[in-house]
Structure 1
Amino acid sequence: MGKENDIQWHLGFCAAMELELREYADRLEFHREYPLSRKPLLIDLLVVEKTGDFEIANDIGQIFQKHNIMEYKSENDTLNEDTYFKVMAYAYLYKSSEKYVGDIDINSITITLVRERKPEKLLRWFKENSYKVYEKTSGIYYIEKDGFIKTQVVVTAEVGEKEHIFLKTLKRGLKRSTVDDFLDKAFEMHEPFEKDCINSLLGIMVSSNQELFDSIKNGGTGIMNDVLREFFKEEIKANEEQAMNRGWKKGMEKGMVEGMEKGMVEGMEKGMVKGMEKGIEKGIEKGREEGRIETLYTDCNMSVSDIAKKVSKSEDYVKEIIKKISAACL
């Protein structure tokens, strides 16, 4: 299981938000870890509207103005009033960072705070300090006070999975149903930036849910789809090469035995040599074939029909090999 400090949650969050707002990709600019100064002072994600002639239907983006500062906290990170004022400071630094005075209107800036767990103490602090707090939609809380920057708190545990599947994957203890919903959605995406974001998210999901993905790869929870096969392609290729080597060795051994038996039956030295050569050749080819089928079935978790297409054999032939492999494991 990946350690908390080793998992790049913020990278996953940026990818998730870009996918959340992918419908507006040509009208928004996404700046990951936007630098506020020469020293390492970074905004997790800055979303800038290129034009002001459109509205965002996504309920996380409904609050957006021209400049939108997003701060993400992983499931075990603290989100309190100090976090809020830190991000407020980011907003004012960002406003003052432009070349000319007034280039950025303070009213064109919004703040979004995101965490999986609901920050009960922070929401209570807002109320106790005369902020207006209300739930705009499920899991999205608006924070309003005269003279302060518009703010929303997004609780990913409470937002709808169907509407926000990408943000819902940023946690440990994922359910297989959530992974399936994510993969179904990912399968529909073909743009290069979408695929890059999908791979970033998958990296976080696998690191933080290793047991689940090991189970998926090993066949414990169903068949992998093309998105996962692509993500694990190097690992699958390595497994297939290992199986091919095992198949080669088995083929050599089997071919030598069959060749010697055939040659001895013919009773002639010439026949023995030819029989061995022919038997070895057939045995090697068959062993390699069986090794490949074994890998595609056990390591790559492919269906019989997919394997048959991959190796250009009938489904009945593949079933027979799988039956043989299964019997050998008993």
Structure 2
Amino acid sequence: MKGGSMACYNSYAHQWHPAFFASWQIEFQEESGELTFKNEHMIGTKPKQIDVLVIKKSVNKTIKKNIGRIFRMHNIIEYKSPEDYLSIDDFYKCYGYVCFYKSDGNKQNEINISEITLTLVSSGFPRNLVKHLKQVRGWKVEKIERGIYYVSGNIFPIQIINTKKLSKEKNLWLKSLNLHLESKDMVNSLIQEYDEHKDEKLYNSAMDIIVKNNIRIFKEVNENMLCAALEDLIKERLEREVKIALDEAVSKAVNKEVNIAVDKAVSQTTDNILNALEEIHNQIPISEIRKKYHLSEAEWIRMEKLALY
């Protein structure tokens, strides 16, 4: 894809990333107090962007969540949207991110390479990449559980997550970041869980993109529940847009009133100056002129000088 098509694709694909970042945090909600999540983390003075960076708050804390058991202190996450795929070159780019991140400390060897992990997330299984890792790198790729594969043989831990194959019970939100949801049970679970958390931004962000790309099955499951979910999402978006529009309108109105007031003040000041000068020439008593125009002594002295010209 080139030119406008590529720009359009990048714009559309980018919509999935906020939903992924939200879903990733939802998956770790029970242990969120142990982790810090950073979206689109920049490395170095000439930034290279990591999709998600997860930092453990305690080096001794073991993460129990299935997609986080591999975690060490610093955990780099690369996400590919459902329209994209995980290629061999993507792997080496992310491998480079790990190396850049390791070297980006404030002092020598501040970040230990053994305390970094790499997680590669894709909706499809990256067969060519896995074949490359096995045959070219000589590494072992082992399925740990549904949708989760550990790569061993490298200096730091690597895992590959195939979101389509994840467990609905364990990873509902990551699994649902899909263009073609087929399980009505899963849609029911999504709507039910969303309804319990509809005031939380993470759930709104994730549900927004899931519903947009799977409207048909949501309607089939329960149109009333879909309408309620959509109503909440639309309401929040409208409120946000109205606030932005209102802020802009208020700002314009304030600026307009300020400009009018300034113009009026300048005009009034000009009139006062001309009137005062005219009255000086008409030999009106000084005390009366000063009193009428509330002039200070310094202002009056300047006025007298102007009157001499």
Q: Which runs of 5+ in 2 are unaligned?
A: 1-7, 240-309
Task: Kindly provide the CA deviation profile for residues 273-317 of structure 1, in whole angstroms up to 9, marking residues without a partner as x.
Answer: xxxxxxxxxxxxxxxxxxxxxxxxxxxxxxxxxxxxxxxxxxxxx
Residue type at the aligned position of 2:156: I
CA shift, 1:139, in A, is 1.1
Q: Say yes or no: does 1:18 pair with 2:19.
A: no
Q: How far apart are the structure 2 equivalents of 1:167 and 1:18?
A: 10
Which residue does 2:145 correspond to in 1? 137
Residue type at the aligned position of 2:149: Y
Q: Say yes or no: does 1:6 pair with 2:20.
A: no
Which residue does 2:89 correspond to in 1? 82
1:97-246 to 2 correspondences below 5 Å: 97-129=104-136, 130-146=138-154, 148-175=155-182, 176-189=184-197, 195-212=200-217, 215=219, 221-224=222-225, 227-233=229-235
* TM-score, normalised relative to structure 2: 0.67
Residue type at the aligned position of 2:190: F
Which residue does 1:258 correspond to in 2? none
Does the 8 Å CA contact 2:43/2:101 hold for their aligned counterparts? yes
Residue type at the aligned position of 2:202: C
1:236–1:95 CA distance, 2 compared to 1 (3 A): closer
Q: How far apart are the structure 2 equivalents of 1:232 and 1:65?
A: 39
Residue type at the aligned position of 1:116: S
Q: How far apart are the structure 2 equivalents of 1:46 and 1:172?
A: 25
Identical amino acids, percent of aligned pairs: 31
Q: How far apart are the structure 2 equivalents of 1:33 and 1:201?
A: 17
CA shift, 1:22, in A, is 1.0
Does the 8 Å CA contact 2:164/2:178 hold for their aligned counterparts? no
1:250-269 to 2 correspondences below 5 Å: none
Which residue does 1:260 correspond to in 2? none
CA shift, 1:230, in A, is 2.2
Q: Say yes or no: does 1:50 pair with 2:52.
A: no
Which residue does 2:43 correspond to in 1? 36
Q: How far apart are the structure 1 equivalents of 2:161 and 2:238?
A: 38
Does the 8 Å CA contact 2:168/2:175 hold for their aligned counterparts? yes
Does the 8 Å CA contact 2:85/2:124 hold for their aligned counterparts? no
CA shift, 1:28, in A, is 0.5
SS in 2 for 1:26: helix
Aligned-CA RMSD value: 2.4
Task: Kindly provide the CA deviation profile for residues 33-73 of structure 1, in whole angstroms up to 9, marking residues without a partner as x.
Answer: 00013445210000000112322221100000000000001
* TM-score, normalised relative to structure 1: 0.63
Residue type at the aligned position of 2:158: T
Residue type at the aligned position of 2:175: K
Does the 8 Å CA contact 2:191/2:225 hold for their aligned counterparts? no
Q: How far apart are the structure 2 equivalents of 1:198 and 1:235?
A: 14
Does the 8 Å CA contact 2:139/2:152 hold for their aligned counterparts? yes
CA shift, 1:210, in A, is 4.1
